[in-house]
Homo-oligomer: A and B are copies of this chain.
Amino acid sequence: MSKIPYKIYLSEEEMPKQWHNIRAEMKELPDPFINPATLKPCTADDLAPVFCKELVEQELNVTDKYIDIPKGILDFYKMYRPSPLVRAYELEKKLDTPAKIYYKFEGTNTSGSHKLNSAAAQVYYAKQQGLTHLTTETGAGQWGTALSMACAYYGIDLTVYMVKVSAEQKPYRKAVIETYGGKVIPSPSETTEIGRKILAENPGTGGSLGCAISEAMEVALKTPNCRYVLGSVLNHVVLHQSVIGMEVKKACEKYDIQPDVIIGCAGGGSNLGGLISPFMADKINGKNNIEFIAVEPASCPSLTRGKYAFDFGDTGKTTPLMRMYTLGSGFMPSPNHAGGLRYHGMSPIVSKLYHDGYLTARAVEQTKVFEAAVMFARCEGTLPAPESSHAIRVAVDEALKCKETGEAKTIVFGLTGTGYFDMSAYMAYHDGRMNDYVPSDEDLEKGFATLPQVNL
């Protein structure tokens, strides 16, 4: 039997005390955010009405490679971190592959995902600044749950705009958020101007992340002592999620594990960005030649079929412009698509790394994803979230390739969360009610037509 245990847990003392800021390592930086009113790069003052001060500083910080994690956040992290790096012995056996497969499992907390890493940080800083209220959006519900947990802990009021179709499909997700004291409003709603406008134009809509973001931002701007928080895409979220990659790197060093491939699912890109962060720095600096693979749903293919362009982060076109891979803020994902990973854009950091050739991307179809998810559940025990299962799909494909070639590659993937609240999607898969919708070129053109015309 191998000396590597099924689960590698770092000790509390070995937990990272700093986040890793990948931008400070990049040869070329992502383009700065652009203020759509002035068409000039956003300043801290531009962002301050929306985000709390410390997060604005982190958002704009491109020079510090490491940023200290405050003790108040570390204490929260200690309740559920470090998360295990698991050797997937049973999956390897099942696939009969020479590959060595590891996954970093972020699902061992009640939010069921990695989202808590940034939620804790964002709420902590909001509390430090004396804020009393936060607003946010949630799609699949993991972010809303994570944020409500952090708000309960630090003592801040929370309003969550939840994509309507998710709120209807997942009443229990909503109930969890409410158990932690968060207020849930299905989006689009009558509570905001943008919500009323979207409902007037498209009364039957199931909503989208972009639209929920617009509503949450509108409320944050209008409410005293209130700010908006976002669970993905932004630079400071990728920064907080680097705690995942830092732990993986330390565990790999401790057990002399050298990854050949690192795979992450990519919706807004924060989990992937955080997972690869310290390994990517080494690659940029010529210290490794790891293949990084971003996996996205074929139904919402921002990296593989999107444009690298300046775009708004929300449907209401109220955010700064970010240069990223995008399908256009007006792109409406298929309601048939299960779980998260429905965002029209992609983290500017991940987009830039992809654009410069440091990472590759694959789009996978939904039923193939659930096929991998069920196989994984039955041999490894853990029931994966649909989002995470995108990474499982490609990890399995890579391991099967190794079986053909005989290569004993070391594959690491991010298992971002659990699927306890996604059983309606699993039921649809079992019952053959799930289809593999892929947007046509015409569908995509409709989204691209909503891209802003910007000449900088």
**A residues near B, CB below 8 A?**
5-7, 9, 11-12, 75, 78-80, 89-90, 108-110, 112, 149, 152-153, 171-172, 175-176, 178-181, 374, 377-383, 418, 420-421, 423-424, 426-427, 430
Contact = CB atoms under 8 A, between A and B. Distances in A.
14 contacts: A6-B12, A6-B79, A7-B12, A75-B89, A109-B381, A109-B382, A112-B420, A152-B378, A153-B379, A175-B426, A176-B423, A176-B426, A179-B383, A181-B378
Contacts of A89: 75
Given A179-B430, A383-B179, A418-B110, A153 B78 contact: no
A308 B78 CA distance: 45
Contacts of A380: 79
A179 B90 contact: no
A153 B424 CA distance: 23
A5 B13 CA distance: 9
Shortest 7 CB-CB distances between A and B: which pairs? A172-B423, A152-B378, A5-B12, A175-B423, A6-B78, A420-B420, A110-B383
A410 B109 CA distance: 25
A379 B181 CA distance: 12
Contacts of A381: 79-80, 109-110, 149, 153
B420 A382 contact: no
A382 to B, nearest CB: 5
A430 B175 CA distance: 9
A8 to B, nearest CB: 9
Contacts of A79: 6-7, 90, 380-381
Given A108-B108, A172-B420, 19 more contacts: A5-B11, A7-B12, A75-B89, A79-B381, A110-B377, A110-B418, A110-B420, A112-B420, A153-B381, A172-B421, A172-B423, A175-B424, A176-B426, A178-B427, A178-B430, A179-B374, A179-B423, A180-B378, A420-B420
